[in-house]
Amino acid sequence: MSSDRIEAGTITLLSGKGDEIEAYHAKPTDAESHGSVVVIHHMPGYDSSTKEIARRFAAHGYGAIVPNLFHRYAPGASAGDGAAAARAAGGVPDAQCLEDVAGAMAFLRAESGANGKVGVIGYCSGGRQSYLTACNLDVDAAVVCYGGGVVATPDQLTPERPVAVIDMTKDLRCPMLGLFGVDDANPSPEHTARMEEELKGHGKTYEFHTFDDAGHAFFWVERPSYRFEAAREGWHKIWEFYGKYLEG
């Protein structure tokens, strides 16, 4: 019988390129073997809602880590100040994001009890970064929660984000689960159809679910965008998906 015990707290994480960033780590304390998940926070930052998601993964038997992608812009600052500072600086470059996620993956794979399988999940801008990660790093399963900007026009590309992530689809290395709201404007149902077309065209393993009566950020329990039905069903899909690809 599981004790349901978890441990969670702030750690210093070594990024893939060697510098240190803040991260939030949670894990079950009595699992003999567990899969792991890198949780990528949304644009509003490295906040309490995202840390709560990490603890939820731990309670379900997964090791989880949330790298603070905004740490470099505002070390030790509140989530809001960090998000504002990152935005003022042009946002997180894709290359830097990948270094931080790579560091998180290495941490999770090295910890005691880890079975070596690591998934990634991201919300909002983190959903795009989850897609980015799945096309560039050696993850075992990727969940994209309403990732906006995966489909990008040339005028939306910047020095920080120079390539449309959808154009990386051919390099996707793992199965992907996509969770979206039908009322979302970015990604809109047209955007998700475009993603599916690309995934199908390259013969990738994926499943997409678009929920009725839900828009962007329907998992975010503290906001008016929260949608109980979509979030509940979404969590079921996540447990099934990670159960299939990260356990054992």
Partner 1 sequence: MCTYLTSTERVAGTGLGAQGWFSIERAVVYFDHPQEAPVEHALCIDFRPGEHADPSQRVAVELDARSARTLAESILATLAHDEVRALGVD
Binding region for partner 1 (CB under 8 A): 42-45, 73-74, 77-85, 87-88, 90-91, 124-125, 146, 148-149, 158, 161, 184-186, 215-217, 223-225
Q: What is the closest distance, in whole angstroms, from the C-beta atom of residue 235 to partner 1 in the complex?
A: 21
Task: Indicate the residue among 119 and 181 with the shorter CB distance to partner 1.
Answer: 181
Q: CB of residue 151 vs partner 1: minimum separation in angstroms?
A: 13
User: What's the closest the beta carbon of residue 68 comes to partner 1, in angstroms?
Assistant: 13
Q: Which is nearer to partner 1, 35 or 149 (CB)?
A: 149
103's enclosing H/E stretch is helix 94-110
Measured CA to CA, the distance from residue 188 to residue 129 in angstroms comes to 17
Q: Residue 31 CB, nearest distance to partner 1 (Å)?
A: 33
Q: Long-range CB contacts (< 8 A, 24+ apart) of 55-58?
A: 55/6, 55/8, 55/26, 57/26, 58/6, 58/7, 58/8, 58/26, 58/27, 58/28
C-beta of 29 vs 78, nearer to partner 1 = 78
Give 40 or 246: the residue with its C-beta nearer to partner 1: 40
> Which residues touch 103 (CB under 8 Å, ≥6 apart)?
13, 14, 15, 16, 21, 67
